Amino acid sequence: MLSETPLLQVQNLSMRFAAPRSLLEWASGTPRRELHAVRDVSFTLAAGETLGVVGESGCGKSTLGRCLVGLYEPAAGEILWHGRPLRELGNRQAISRKIQMIFQDPYSSLNPRMSLEQTLAETLKVHGLATTRGERKDRIDELLLTVGLAPRLKDRLPYAFSGGQRQRISIARALAVGPELIVADEPVSALDASVQAQIINLFEEIRENLGVAFLFIAHDLSVVRHISQRIAVMYLGQSMEVADTDALFDSPRHPYTRALLGAIPRPDPDERQNGVSLEGELPNPFNPPKGCAFSTRCPHVIDACRTSIPPLRKLGATHHARCLPHILDLRGQ
């Protein structure tokens, strides 16, 4: 499968937003400030594969996901779908037949006045699928079965469902069009631990049984580890390290990946982390460091890091990191 054209190729993708000006700035003719939410990000995704995208707030992971479903028009770079530019698929509706999105908050991403059945029926109608009433009913029942909801709940409105059930509805709606890729943006972070595990397992089943690929965006590394074959770590709009899941956790190479892994509180009191915390905070995204985005907090920083952005280096067949070679060679912390 890997020798074929990948399902999705993202090449040097960048996305900028213009900030609104204050009255004073407007009057004095100050140019609009630009926020570089995603800077020069590249990766590939094979059919039926899950790529985890992790990073802290403001790292650009959600913006990246929104570019892929056509919600944002990227400022630069290329998104290839089966080897051809994504925009050749057509408008947003045409893209949404192939790529679907699931959001974090299952409370606001469902129409509160539509029953479960109406929600799913509308998606089918909009895309001209399952056109007769009988077909529609069968398809809806099948979708509910896939996501583990009882068909007898069909007439209920969203408020009658719990958070976990609502996220199941969102998943059923995404699956309704038979997509090849689902972009899931923090889909389990609003859920309690006991329910979170149910939804993670559901994503796994869908990938295995239906062959859907996932771009799984999350801030929780342990969740991402369980669900992804490969992981991309982002920081302030840049992709810092991309690797197979086991390689990333067993031998993280980028200093930010190592710091991130070291900062997660592990649920094991025998493994108390007394290591040094990563100091400082995220730089102002309107005024990012000139060189490497992580240079203001990196424990290994040298002058060269502050002046130019290091290129993405290939460390193995599927392992890349954006850092200087001698720093990447420091194993452990």
Partner 1 sequence: MITSTSQALLEVSNLQTRFYNQHQAITAVDGVSFEIRQGEVFGLVGESGCGKSATCRSLLRLFGGADARVSASHIRFDQIDLATLSEEQLSNVRGRQISMVFQDPMTALNPTMRIGEQIAEALRRHDGLSGQPLRDATIALLKAVGVTSPQERLRAWPHEFSGGMRQRVLIAIALACKPRLLIADEPTTALDVTIQDQILKLLLRMRREIGLSVLMVTHDLGVVAQTCDRVAVMYAGRIVESGDTRQLFRNPTHPYTQALLAALPTLSGPRHKLKPIGGEPPNLADLPSGCRFHTRCPQAVERCRVEDPQLRHVAPGHLSACIRQEEWAC
* Contacting residues toward partner 1, per CB under 8 A: 56-57, 162, 164-165, 192-198, 200-201, 204, 219-223, 225-226, 245, 249, 259-273, 277-279, 281-282
For partner 1, which is the closer residue by CB, 72 or 249? 249
In the complex, minimum distance from the CB of residue 280 to partner 1, in angstroms, rounded to a whole number: 9
In the complex, minimum distance from the CB of residue 235 to partner 1, in angstroms, rounded to a whole number: 10
In the complex, minimum distance from the CB of residue 246 to partner 1, in angstroms, rounded to a whole number: 8
In the complex, minimum distance from the CB of residue 310 to partner 1, in angstroms, rounded to a whole number: 21
DSSP assigned state of 309: P
For partner 1, which is the closer residue by CB, 93 or 273? 273
Do the beta carbons of residue 17 and residue 37 sit within 8 Å?
Answer: yes
The alpha-carbon radius of gyration of the chain (Å, integer) is: 21
In the complex, minimum distance from the CB of residue 226 to partner 1, in angstroms, rounded to a whole number: 4
Q: How many angstroms separate the CA atoms of 166 and 172, rounded? A: 10
- Identity at 146, one-letter amino acid code: T
In the complex, minimum distance from the CB of residue 85 to partner 1, in angstroms, rounded to a whole number: 35
Torsion of CA 197, 202, 204, 205, to 10 degrees: 140
For partner 1, which is the closer residue by CB, 42 or 146? 146
Size of the chain in residues: 333
Nearest C-alpha neighbor of 114 from the set 173, 64, 192, 38: 173
For partner 1, which is the closer residue by CB, 89 or 172? 172
In the complex, minimum distance from the CB of residue 84 to partner 1, in angstroms, rounded to a whole number: 34
For partner 1, which is the closer residue by CB, 47 or 195? 195
For partner 1, which is the closer residue by CB, 47 or 261? 261
What is the side-by-side strand order in the sheet with 8-18?
A: 34-45, 8-18, 76-81, 84-85
The two three-digit tokens of residue 234, written as one number: 């982002």
Would you call 281 exposed, middle or buried from its count of C-beta atoms within 10 A (0-12, 13-18, 19+)? exposed
Do the beta carbons of residue 38 and residue 67 sit within 8 Å?
Answer: yes
For partner 1, which is the closer residue by CB, 48 or 163? 163
For partner 1, which is the closer residue by CB, 139 or 219? 219
DSSP assigned state of 271: G
Paired with 43 in beta bridges are 10
Paired with 216 in beta bridges are 52, 184
Do the beta carbons of residue 319 and residue 244 sit within 8 Å?
Answer: yes
In the complex, minimum distance from the CB of residue 275 to partner 1, in angstroms, rounded to a whole number: 9
